[in-house]
Amino acid sequence: MLDVDNFKQFNDSFGHPIGDRLLRALGDYLKARVRPGDIPSRYGGEEFTLILPEASMEIVRERAESLREGFSQIPLHLGTAVAKIPQALSLSCGVAIFPEHGTTAEEILRAADEALYQAKRAGKNRVVIAAGSSTTSALAAREQAHLV
């Protein structure tokens, strides 16, 4: 699960039409960076999900990091001008996989959502792996060493 950090302030400052353009640009960005069979979708508001069937925890974490890091390079079309994503905006990501974090779509989404909110509480602009995975502690240690 991915969420645009500070989106409300951006939307309030630049207006809903520009906020909508940002969300469309993020959707296009996600669609352009998926494998055949992956499923990017808008979950609600400024939250998106990306389902990566048959991907390992390491692949999913790496993909989330890559998307997070590349977010600032998305071109934002402002009428006739093209701008970069403002520095105040970033992506926070929560990662959960089947079956480590749940055996139903609801359980996995809930775990990813909780991991996303942990990323937000920890300072935003980061990837957090849901609790409960056998690989969580090793990846969490690496994540702590590589805080963004």
Buried b / exposed e across 87-104, counting CB within 10 Å, b at 16+? eebbbbbbbbbeebbbee
Amino acid letter for position 55: A
Annotated active-site residue in 46, 47, 65, 143: 46
Residue 51 corresponds to which tokens in the numbers above?
């389902």
Round to whole Å and give the CA distance between 133 and 51.
17
Give, in order, the Cα–Cα distances in Å from 62 to each of 23, 124, 132, 143. Answer: 22, 17, 19, 11
46 as an active site residue: the answer is yes
Q: Give me the active site residues, please.
A: 46
